[in-house]
Amino acid sequence: MNILVLAAHPDDEVLGMGGTIKKFTKKGYSVKIVIFATGISARRSSNYKNTENYNVGKKIISQMNKQIEKLKIDAKSASKILGVSDIEFLDFPDNEMDLVSNLEITKRIEKIIKKFQPDQVFTHSYFDVNVDHRMLYFATLAATRPKLGTKIKKVYSFEVPSSTEWSFPSQFSPNFFVNIDNEIKSKIQALKKYKTEIKSFPHPRSAIALDAIAKRWGSVSGFKNAEAFSLIRELNN
């Protein structure tokens, strides 16, 4: 079983489905994580033209590049805890993926799909406040559209604390839950590897909040701890 996780920024994959990823790797599934933008605010992408606000000096750019490299190291450390060794970093502009055409993002995903041949694909929710999350959602829908002979059987969206829950009036409505009673500790350990991203409670990206969210979804699905997903599409032969 091949599982493809498409995340906009480093730590999104852990926040959204760290426990489920750990569950997959424990079962022997092949999991690939693709991170599209660095998650460093006000940084200049090497491949895309950013807004004027990003025209900062060489010293600031050098500092941001160091932060980006540190985030990549943190992402690899977090992935290792979850049992994933296949993690790929792309270079789309952070918090400005709407400046890139949907077609370009879609083609990049299609290329990844062609090579990896996933059975299931996971990405962000349509309801997320973050523009990069929404752009990735739409591009994923296009890239995974049903075709004759497609291997992809299921496409899911996940929530990201500090983005999904801030969307009003429409909100994330999960219809699929995964028991992570045995994986919640690994999920929190993985998040702690992101030293620059993890926050103190009551911030949604804190260890305490993450544990509370797992228990909240567990309480509505008959588990002690759970992660919630929205099943976007399922194909059955």
pLDDT for 168 beyond 80? no
Question: 108 vs 161, which has greater pLDDT?
Answer: 108
Task: Give percent of the chain with pLDDT exceeding 70.
Answer: 89
| pLDDT of the residue at 176 | 97
Cut 0.75: pTM above it: yes
| pLDDT of the residue at 40 | 62
Q: Report cis status (omega within 30 of 0) of the bond before 202.
A: yes
Task: Give per-residue pLDDT as tens, 10-62.
Answer: 999 999 999 999 999 999 999 999 999 976 654 444 444 444 455 556 666 67
Token pair listed for 120:
């299931």
Q: What angle do CA 231, 205, 85 make, to 5 degrees?
A: 65
| pLDDT of the residue at 162 | 83
Structural domains in the chain, CATH included, are 2-234 (3.40.50.10320)
Q: Residues 6 or more apart from 90 whose CB is under 8 A from it?
A: 34, 35, 36, 37, 108
